[in-house]
Structure 1
Amino acid sequence: MSLEQTAVGRGWKRVGVRHHHGIQVPLLSIWTEQSQGCGEFLDLIPLIDWLSDLGMDVLQLLPLNDSGEDASPYKALSGTALHPIYLSLHALTDEKLTFSESKRVPYWEVLEKKLAFLKKYVADMEKVILEDPSYQAFVERSPHLRYYARYKVKTEGETENFHLIVQYLCHTQLLKVKKHAEKKGVFLKGDIPILLSPKSADVWAHPEFFDLSLQAGSPPTKFDPKGQVWKFPLYNWKAMEENHFEWWRRRIQTAAQYFHLYRIDHIIGFFRIWAIPHGEIADKGFFVPKKEGLMEVQGRKLLETLLSFSDMLPIGEDLGDPPHFIRETMLELGIPGTKILRWSPNIEAYPPASLSTVSTHDLEPSLSQEMVHKSHHTPSLFHINLLQEYLPPELTWGNPEDEVINIPGTENHFNWTYRYKCPLEVLTNDASLNERIKALVRLK
């Protein structure tokens, strides 16, 4: 069976069964001369132009969901609402905010000042926006944002209208980015975390869809001897199925407004999740469901359901050593997996339905140009690496540790606040960098 004939054939038809080359960036980390404190939605437009000029056609982003005061994009307060911190303020005002200068993004300062600006902006513009037919249509087709707005009022104050208007502004800007990407022949790849914060609007509004009696995590392995406690609730899959998986439908279809393909975070978790009793360490956990036969049936049903909700092509994050039936199911459904070169050096064994990458956002970026070159010349049809892995030394901070995005299993102000040393205006106009990337993506 060809990839076009699989369950996600329409996703493959959309992007094309051919080699795709691209980069991965945290939006928070990039910046331009117009940025206010961190990377913003409209900063993606010059980045897209650059990729198109280089012959790359995929831009992969970390999750863009609202995570509130937590800098981790994987601790979302909503499965659908976008993060206000990414709003391009220069599209709204000539006012220029000031922020502390540092290697890392001053996330909490940026968030506080941007929200303060938005409160004033919305107060001044509320009447005009509320009467705008495009805003009214947005609210009408986004009923899920109503409970998000009520949740935000309950936890942060302001009015429902304020939070809905901010979401409308985010939606408008990200939609503009997608349209520009399509004009330039670049595919946007989103990231859908499998789990949500226990403090999220979704858990608050739909507690019946979640199992709060246990918390998700990962079991001890030879690479991670202690395992991890993520502190996220599990899903109540039975209740979700009884509701025809409408919560997932809304989540996937909302993402499809902005992306052409998406990363399924921890795809193994749809088959089985490591459940840990509250107050216990990771090695006290157990898999849910416990029997492999049930795992396989559950995972297949859930993935087939997700695939039916959109024509986005999913790419699974299937790292580790999962039971054989997980990758067999992915292969049958046409869902590419992820291959990390530093962990899986036998690149000739990579299947076409896979993504080759040197690192992840949880690893120290590799400075080996040989590894980066290999990642673009594997049998995989997708070749995507962190942007910092392409940069020459003079465009980086100099210390590899300063190029790290996240240190797994730790909670601190270092994680998720990475900022590129140079603005996009400098990066995209560096002749040596441009030639290096063009050479990498030329056909073998």
Structure 2
Amino acid sequence: MTLRFFVRFSTSWGQQLSLALHTGSVLPMTWYDQDHWTIELEWDLPELRYHYIFTHGWDLPEQAERRLVLLPGEQELTIRDEWRQPGRVADSLMKAPFRDVYFYHSPENVERSASHYFQVSAPLLESGREVWLTGSVEALGNWDTTAAVKMRAREDGRFAADVNILPGEAVEYKYLLDGREYEAGENRSFHSSGPSLIDDNYARFNYQPWKGAGVAVPVFSLRSENGLGCGEFADLRLLADWAASTGQRLVQLLPVNDTIADHSWKDSYPYAAISAFALHPMYIHLPGLGKADGYAAMQSTLNALPDMDYETTIRFKTQALKTFYQSFKADETYGGWVNANRYWLEPYAVFCNARDNNNERGFYYFVQYHLHLQLSEAVAYAHSKGIAIKGDLPVGMYLHSADVSFMPELFDTTVQAGAPPDEFAEKGQNWGFPAYNWPIMEATGYSWWKQRLQHMAQYFSAFRIDHVLGFFRLWQIPRREKEGILGYFHPAKPLTEQEIFDWGIPFTHARYCEPYITDAVLYSIFSGDAVKVRSIYLEPAGDGHYRLRDVYRHQADITEEDPDIRQGLYDLIANVIFVEPSPGEFHPRFDLHRTASFLALDIAVQESLKQLSTHFFYHRHDELWEKEALRKLPVLQSATDMLVCGEDLGMVPHCVPGVLQRLGILSLEVLPMPKQAGQTPAQAPYLSVVTPSTHDMSTLRGYAPGNEEEIIRLHLQSPAMWCILQMQDWLALDTTLPQRTPEEERINVPAITPWYWRYRMPLTLETLCASQQLTEKMLAMVKEGGR
């Protein structure tokens, strides 16, 4: 059949619109007039999935794929579309939290059967309100609103109407709110030339900016009377009750993936997932499966503790689950779920068998099935209370994980992912995760990412991209180094020797790429241990300088038990001006001006190095990193309808705000870490999340004691779409409730690795729900903030 596309989109000279088909073909369209692009296509399959790509020096694809189902016997169809500019506020307001939770409309089956099929979106349309269609022809009521056509909601949240319009008619039309209020702007129009699909993107109703408030809390931090040692998925029901009573609309969680690597407390780190899909058995509610021996006594012991005892909790739950599994009888529903999820269940179970020296895959299937049921039930309950759940997408995968083991081609295990020095960690961070092999991921159509996000979308209406900067460029650390300070950005444009010379720097490899070691440096680092260190780890290099012996040239080679000696040797190895991950490719060491090597150089050379370093880190890669992000981030967006938020903290390249804004990804604005000097929540962009603290830093009680209420009000009154506070910061509003010290309520210290993630609320959710004073105060403050 013949498909004729007309796309409403005004462009300038040199710009191009293309039609991208799900088959992989990208077809350049033809400029039709100042407002339209067109293309004609012969198609013989029953379905077409497509989107448009705008090109102007870079490609910008639409976020969501369009789907067209063709009718049997249909010979031709005209498709009248509008270009959907990524980053429009209206796009964000059609995402899952709004469509499925806050502004839900019961869907109807609206199939295309008449000559003209109209479809349009109406963001923020309250349940019970309606969209109608009227126009200048008889089929649309001849502008008589009493004869207008009622549109019906579909599964995707859009409204549709099927109408028979005669060929040859000149049609003008508009959408009506509740059948009586016309949309703004001029009449819409087209000339009827046969069967047509008209996609008008958005009805032009008067949308007021929508703002919401929420709470951020790890599941393990929840405390309830029915829990066992840590928070559980079942506790999300009580959390949703409390959130709804206080006027909040969203619960934000840390990652809930399985992290069991060696059954020690180090597995409490929620970002070291051993599977991108499996849920953590720690969050199972055992009474939901049956009666466990010794449960009451263990519950009394663990729930009395101020913090989570990870090892005891997971050990007891695992043993109870094994007992339940012995009497488990699979049914058809269970079998169907296993088959649908086998693509990740099987490698995960094989991995767990090897880890636990076990030989029973079915046990791990059984545990994951019940975790899925309990989380799904909790999420459905939260939705019924008007509360959406926001998940967290870790930037990396644990090195020894099921995904890395069974899909090694997708990862680069020769390097480690981390972050350069920042406010959180002065020596940088080394997470130990492998980097991604992006060329292979792109060649496979990013299928692993799409599966991962579609799996998350079963439970979450929104998600936070952990360290979104990693999708622009990742800080990579060689496997033989321990500290993030010795990392470098990838992709990057490394310097050549000639470029370094051109900056006025008398480069030699030994002076600039090898640790600068003299007696003065040794005594400044090791004091009285300098002689010992020199005799064991160093050898003379001439002219009063030393070099590390070959067996101690990398931080991973250092096994010194004395922490001071070990750290001093790490510092010595990091005392370089340039790092050289590949021969002849040089990257300035981050914070090179803080090194003893730098301070020993001439002032003129120091100044040149400062200028070179600033240019390298803040200007040289803007275009490269922008293109990298625009290749990857749209994939994450288009895979689901979840609202996407980026954690864009740390060393933020200049291109990041523009890319996030262009794609409609919400930024994160944290009061103690302003993007610009002096910036407050009042200056936050609408498409953002404002918060006074995160799990990686001190809470309000820690850095602003006595000013908690004032700061919270400032955030609630921000123009940002979302104001999300940690549970600890909300609790600071009521000093009559049980409290913990500021040091105890901090969840993580990034500079200390490994860290025990074990914070628990100082009161139960039952007590929290009954705390009328806090509830009334929060409800009033949220309303005053327009949320």
Q: In the TM superposition, what are the counterparts of 1:18-167 in structure 2 within 5 Å?
A: 18-68=210-260, 69=263, 70-95=267-292, 96-97=295-296, 98=298, 99-100=301-302, 101-125=304-328, 128=329, 130=330, 132-142=331-341, 143-156=343-356, 157-167=358-368
The answer as to whether partners of 1:7 and 1:333 remain within 8 angstroms in 2 is no
Deviation, 1:412, is: 5.1
Q: In the TM superposition, what are the counterparts of 1:286-301 in structure 2 within 5 Å?
A: 286-291=488-493, 292=621, 293-301=623-631
| Residue 407 of structure 1: aligned partner | 749
| Residue 166 of structure 2: aligned partner | none
Query: What is the letter of the counterpart of residue 369 of structure 2?
Result: Y
Q: Deviations over 1:283-340 (max 9, x none)?
A: 2211100042332112111111111110001100001241121121110111100000
Pair 431,158 (structure 1): closer, same or farther in 2 beyond 3 Å: farther
Give the Cα–Cα distance (whole angstroms) in 1 for the partners of residues 647 and 366 of structure 2: 34
Q: Deviations over 1:382-417 (max 9, x none)?
A: 01001111212343444211111111121356x310
Q: Deviations over 1:57-88 (max 9, x none)?
A: 10001110001130011111111100011011
Give the Cα–Cα distance (whole angstroms) in 2 for the partners of residues 164 and 287 of structure 1: 39
| Residue 340 of structure 1: aligned partner | 670
Deviation, 1:343, is: 2.4
Structure ranking higher in helix proportion: 1
The answer as to whether partners of 2:92 and 2:643 remain within 8 angstroms in 1 is no
Q: Deviations over 1:84-131 (max 9, x none)?
A: 110111211233250444211001110011001000111111xx1x2x
| Residue 727 of structure 2: aligned partner | 387
Pair 66,26 (structure 1): closer, same or farther in 2 beyond 3 Å: same
Structure with max Cα Rg: 2
SS state at 2:389 partner: strand
Pick 1 or 2: higher relative contact order, CA cutoff 8 A, min separation 6.
1
Instruction: Give the unaligned 5+ runs of structure 1.
Output: none
Instruction: Give the unaligned 5+ runs of structure 2.
Output: 1-84, 103-123, 125-208, 494-620, 702-707
SS state at 1:441 partner: helix
The answer as to whether partners of 2:682 and 2:717 remain within 8 angstroms in 1 is no
SS state at 1:403 partner: coil
The answer as to whether partners of 1:215 and 1:276 remain within 8 angstroms in 2 is yes
The answer as to whether partners of 1:341 and 1:371 remain within 8 angstroms in 2 is no
Match of 1:190 among 387, 391, 394: 391
Give the Cα–Cα distance (whole angstroms) in 2 for the partners of residues 158 and 107 of structure 1: 25
Q: Deviations over 1:29-52 (max 9, x none)?
A: 112111111111111101101211
| Residue 655 of structure 2: aligned partner | 325
| Residue 364 of structure 1: aligned partner | 698
SS state at 2:689 partner: strand
Identity of aligned residues (%): 36
RMSD: 1.8
Pair 186,8 (structure 1): closer, same or farther in 2 beyond 3 Å: closer
Give the Cα–Cα distance (whole angstroms) in 2 for the partners of residues 315 and 427 of structure 1: 28
Give the Cα–Cα distance (whole angstroms) in 2 for the partners of residues 321 and 214 of structure 1: 20
SS state at 2:213 partner: strand
Give the Cα–Cα distance (whole angstroms) in 1 for the partners of residues 375 and 474 of structure 2: 32
| Residue 210 of structure 1: aligned partner | 411
Query: What is the letter of the counterpart of residue 462 of structure 2?
Result: L
Pair 8,54 (structure 1): closer, same or farther in 2 beyond 3 Å: closer
Give the Cα–Cα distance (whole angstroms) in 1 for the partners of residues 739 and 245 of structure 2: 26
Number of equivalenced pairs: 439
Give the Cα–Cα distance (whole angstroms) in 1 for the partners of residues 289 and 429 of structure 2: 42
The answer as to whether partners of 2:424 and 2:749 remain within 8 angstroms in 1 is no
SS state at 2:416 partner: strand
SS state at 2:744 partner: helix
| Residue 69 of structure 2: aligned partner | none
SS state at 2:770 partner: coil
Query: What is the letter of the counterpart of residue 45 of structure 1?
Result: R
Deviation, 1:191, is: 0.6
Match of 1:428 among 755, 769, 773: 769
Deviation, 1:222, is: 6.0
Query: What is the letter of the counterpart of residue 295 of structure 1?
Result: W
| Residue 437 of structure 1: aligned partner | 778
Give the Cα–Cα distance (whole angstroms) in 2 for the partners of residues 27 and 240 of structure 1: 31
| Residue 39 of structure 2: aligned partner | none
TM-score normalised by length of structure 2: 0.54
| Residue 538 of structure 2: aligned partner | none
